[in-house]
């Protein structure tokens, strides 16, 4: 079921979104060679819980054990923070985080370079960021979910990359995952119609190689089938009234 949020609910989600954005900024300050993904997770959880009423959305969601998903290089999403995963110069680290505040969630992700990364990795980050921006720009009343996916796909595939198809963006609100599903591919004017007050998480996962993915034996970590690099950027947005651009609720401040 697609839920429409009141202006007041959207303000609460924006408050959650500001904590999400600040969490990613704090994590980014700690991203450097020699740091473990578990250390980053601890920094993030402490930071989120320092805000009254806020808690990490992911911890316990479908029994996920941590505050962050930390996914390195060929890992696409859902990597589990670990003291044994230590960042190295040249890695790409995708960090996904959600915050629950006063009954509502916000969700965002970003991929960070660890030290100096390859030109291909730099290009992947730029393209995936552009793909997210193109998708967000389509989140307007009167458009359809397919317009978002189409815009994401055009940017990613236009650059010679591929989009992951099995994992999608989603509605978000009092439940972390709500309808509609928001694929990173699609056709214009297809899928559910966007209406004011819808809140959705748009989250392109872009692979340098093929679109195929598989899940590791830990039952969580999703990797590219061909071992190619992957990046992930995500924002939670609110669809505005007719003719107004979407409001990015997880925008960095």
Is 67 in contact with 99 (CB distance < 8 Å)?
no
Q: How many CA atoms lie within 13 A of 209 on its CB side?
A: 14
CB nearer Mg ion, residue 38 or residue 178: 178
* 77 is a site residue for Mg ion (CB under 5 A): no
CB nearer Mg ion, residue 141 or residue 175: 175
Stretch that binds Mg ion, among 40-48, 52-60, 88-96, 221-229 (CB under 5 A): 88-96
Phi and psi torsions of 136, nearest 5°? -60, -40
* 72 is a site residue for Mg ion (CB under 5 A): no
Q: Please tell me the count of residues contacting Mg ion according to CB under 5 A.
A: 6
Q: CA 162 to CA 142: how far, in whole Å?
A: 27
Stretch that binds Mg ion, among 37-45, 80-88, 132-140, 226-234 (CB under 5 A): 226-234
105-164 residues near Mg ion, rule: CB under 5 A: 107, 109
Shortest Å distance, C-beta 33 to Mg ion = 25
Looking only at the bridges linking them, the beta strands covering 235-238 and 247-248 are: antiparallel
* 96 is a site residue for Mg ion (CB under 5 A): yes
3-state secondary structure 165-210: CCCCEEECCCCCCEEEEECCCCCCCCCCECCCCCEEEECCEEECCC
CB nearer Mg ion, residue 161 or residue 233: 233
184-223 residues near Mg ion, rule: CB under 5 A: 201, 203
Q: Which of 122, 201, 186 is CA-nearest to residue 151?
A: 186
* Secondary structure (3-state) at 94: strand
* 182 is a site residue for Mg ion (CB under 5 A): no
CB nearer Mg ion, residue 90 or residue 252: 252
Residues that bind Mg ion (CB under 5 A): 96, 107, 109, 201, 203, 234
């Amino acid at each position: 079921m697609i839920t429409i949020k009141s202006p007041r609910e959207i303000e609460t989600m924006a408050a959650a979104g500001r904590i999400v954005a600040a969490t990613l900024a704090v994590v980014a300050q700690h991203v450097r060679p020699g740091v473990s993904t578990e250390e980053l997770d601890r920094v993030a959880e402490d930071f989120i819980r320092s805000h009254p009423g806020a808690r990490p959305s992911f911890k316990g969601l479908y029994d996920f054990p941590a505050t962050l998903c930390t996914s390195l290089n060929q890992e696409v999403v859902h990597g589990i923070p670990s003291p044994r995963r230590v960042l190295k110069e040249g890695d790409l680290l995708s960090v996904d985080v959600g915050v629950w505040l006063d009954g509502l969630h916000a969700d965002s992700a970003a991929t960070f370079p660890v030290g100096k990364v390859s030109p291909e990795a730099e290009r992947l980050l730029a393209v995936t960021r552009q793909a997210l921006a193109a998708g967000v720009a389509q989140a307007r009343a009167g458009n359809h979910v397919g317009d978002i996916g189409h815009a994401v796909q055009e940017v990613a595939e236009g650059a010679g990359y591929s989009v992951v198809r099995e994992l999608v963006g989603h509605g978000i609100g009092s439940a972390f995952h709500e309808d509609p599903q928001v694929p990173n591919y699609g056709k214009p004017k297809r899928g559910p119609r966007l209406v004011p007050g819808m809140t959705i998480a748009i989250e392109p996962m872009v692979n340098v190689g093929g679109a195929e993915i598989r899940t590791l034996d830990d039952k969580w970590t999703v990797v590219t089938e061909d071992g190619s690099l992957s990046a992930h950027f995500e924002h939670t947005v609110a669809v505005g009234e007719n003719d107004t651009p979407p409001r990015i609720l997880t925008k960095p401040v």
